[in-house]
Structure 1
Amino acid sequence: FFSCLFFLDVRCATTVVEMTKSGKTQSPYQKVIQYLDNIGATHLCRWIPKKWEKVGHVIVLRYVAELHEFEKEVGNAFIKVFPDVDVVVVDGHGVQGELRQPTSRVVMQREGGPCSGTTEVLHIENGVKYKWDVLQIMFSSGNTKERIRFRREVKAKDEIVVDMFAGLGYFSIPLAMATAVNRPRHVYCIEKNPTSHHYLKENVQLNKVGDTVTTMCGDNREVGEELLGTANRVLMGYLPTPVTFLPRAYAFLDPLQGGVIHYHYTATKAECVTLPAQHVAEMLGPLGVVVVSQEEPGVGSGTVAGDLDLAEDRGSGARGGEARTEAALLEGTVDEATCVSQTLGPAARACPARPVVCTFLKVHCIKSYCPQVFHWIAEMDFRPHTLTPNTTCP
C-alpha cells in the first residue's frame, strides 16, 4: 500500500523531463500533446491544461468545459504518457460549502495498476508528511511557501497556539516541528470536518508530534472552551474571509499578555491593509480593541509584494499614524474616558484604562485567488495598553 504514497509535483509546460530524439527537451505538457497527435486526437490539444498537480499515483486536472465529453480520452492519454500514474481525477469546480470539500471525480484508472482504486495519497513537503484523500479533502499547493515559513521562521517558542481551522495540520504541524528556538509549548488543532480531522490525527502521528499537538473535532465556536484566554497565538486559515470568527479568535488570546492572530483573507492589492483593519475595527472595536493607524505601505505595480513589514517587533506601536484620537490615546494626551468612548464604543467605557491595541506586524501575499484578488495573511498583534498605571479595572 505504501508504494502508492509519494510526493506532490506541480507539472507545467516549463518542466523538463526528458530529451527527444532530436536532442530537444520535452515537457510533460508537450508529451501529452504529442501522444494526442499520434492517436489522431489533435482536436483536443488546444484545451489540455498546461499545468496540473501530480500527487503520488494521482494526477489532478482542472475542469475544462470543452473537454467534458472527452474526459476519458484525456485521462487515458495521461495514463499512457506517465507510467507512474494509476488514477486521473478532474477537479470539477474547486471547493464547496463551509467544509470546503472538493468537487473532484475519477475519470480514468489504469487497469491492473498497483494503486488503482485508491485516491489516498501522501505528500512530503519540507520534511512534513501530509496524508489525505484527494476526492474528499482539499490541499493547496499554492500555500507551500507559507507552510515552510511556519516551520523555519515563525517565532513561537514556549507559546500556546490555537489553530481554529486546522484542516490536515497545514500550518500547525510544521510549527510543532520547528527547531527548539521557535517551537511552541503546545498546539491545539480544531477541525470541524470529521474526515479532515481523521487525517489530521494520522498526520500528527506520522510526524511524531503527538506530545506537542492536541486535536479537537467540532465547530471552533462550540469546542475548545477550556482554551479561552490561554493562547499566545491563534491561526485563522480559512477563505475567503473568516471575519465573523474574529471575536472567537480574540477570546482565545491571553487577556493579560495578549498575542498574535494570523488572519487569512482575500483582497485586492489596494485594500490589502485597510480591509483587515476594517474587519478588526468592526468586529472587535466594541470589545475594546483599538486598531493603531499605520502609514499605509505602498504595494508596487507589477507583481504583488510578498511581505509588507508594518512593525519591527511586538508592541512597537504606530509608525506614521494619522488618526489623532488613536495616537492621543497611546500618548495619554487627551481625556482618557472621552478618547476611549469615541474610539471603542460602549463596551470599553467600563474599563477606559485598559484598551487593547492591535498593531499590524506583517502582511503576506500568498497567492492569486481570482482575477485582481489575492490571498493574504495579516499578522496582527493584540496588546493590553494601560493609559494610567495606577488605575485598575473594576
Structure 2
Amino acid sequence: MNDQITPPVTAGMADAGRLAGHEAAYLREFREPTGYLDFARFGPVSAGVAATLERAVRAVHTQGLPALRALDAEADAAGRAAARLLHAAAHEVAFVGSTSHGLFAAAYALRGPGDVLVCRRDFPAALYPWLRAAERGGLAVRRLDGPPTADAVRARLHPGVRAVCVSAVDSVTGFRAPLGAIKEVIGPHRVLVVDAVQAVGVVPIEVEAADVLAGGGQKWLRAGWGAALLLVRDRVAGMLEPGLGGWSGVRDPLTGSDHPKQRLPGAAAHTFTNPDGPAVAALGTGISLALRFGVQQIFERATAALELLLEAARSQGCACDRGGPRPDMRSAIARIRKPGDPETLHRRLLDAGLTTTLRDGWIRLSPHASTGGEAALQLAAVLRDDRRTPG
C-alpha cells in the first residue's frame, strides 16, 4: 500500500554507478538556497517545472488553438502520471485548483444525516470544508483529539459516522497517519478522506487505503500553485453526490439545454470547471520527476537530511519532536524548541539564511531530498551563537 516506485535490485558496482548518476541528475533539477528548510510551506520548483511553465506561457502568448491542444495533451500525460502515483485508474483522478478545493468537493459530496470525524488540531484547510458543509445540510462535525491513530478513530466510531478525514502527514508535528489501519477500522461502508498535501511526492503513504484524496503540487512535488490532485475511488462513487460538480463534471454540457446532464464517471464528476492548463502541465512534470527518481528514494534523502538537522539541534540543547516514536509514524517534518524567545530565534535563523516556520513556539524543519549537510552546520552555528547571547 505504498505510492513509491521500488527500484530494481542492484547488481554490482556498474549498477551502483548508474543509480548514483540517476541521483545526480535528480539533484541537478534544484537550485534553492542552501538553508531553505520550509518545504512544508512551499517547495521551490524544479528546473523541469520551470521549463514546463515557461513553455506553456510562451505557447499561450504566441499561439491559439495549437496551444490549447498542447495543454490538453500535457493534461492527459499528467493524468496518467497521477494515476500511477496514486495506484488508481485514470478516471479515478482529476485535477482541481488546490487541496482545499478537493476537500470542499469531498465535504459537499457527502450529505447528511450522519457524522464526519476530523482531527481537532488539524490544519484548518482540512476542517473548514466540513464546517461549511455542515452549515448547509452536510455531515455533522465530530472532533478527534490527539493524533489520528486507529485506536483514536475506533474510540469515536459509532453507527452514525459516515466519513473520517485525516491528514496523511500532520503539518506541524510531522506525524504520519496509519491510513491502512484507519481504513480497516472504519470498514468499506464509510469514506476515508485524506488530505495528502504534506505527503504526496515525499512520503510513502498507504495511498490505496484512501477513498478520497486531495493534494496540491506547491510543496513536496515542487510544481508551484494552481493545480492539485483529486482522487475518488470507484468503490465509494455510489456514496458521493457531485455537490460541487459543475459543467465540467457532466456529459455533453454544451449540447442542448436539458440540464442537469448525466454526471461523468470518477473524480471528474466533482470538478466545477476546467483546471489551469499550465499549472496542470507543471504538476504533471513534478509528478513524473518524483516517479522517475522514486518516492522512497526522495523520502530516504529528505529524512536523512532531517536527522542531521535534529542531531545539530540536540547538540545545542534543543527539544525535538519527530512526529511519532516509531519510524512508520514519521515523515520529512519535525520541530525543535529551545529555552528563550522563539520569535527571536526564528528571526536569527532567517537572518543567517535558514528558512523555517514558527508555529506555537516551535521551529518547524522540513527539508527535501535536495537539502545538503551544510544546512545542519548552519543550524548548529546559529543555535550555538544563540546560547552565547544573553537574554
| TM-score normalised over the length of structure 1 | 0.27
The higher radius of gyration belongs to 1
Please identify which structure carries the higher helix content: 2
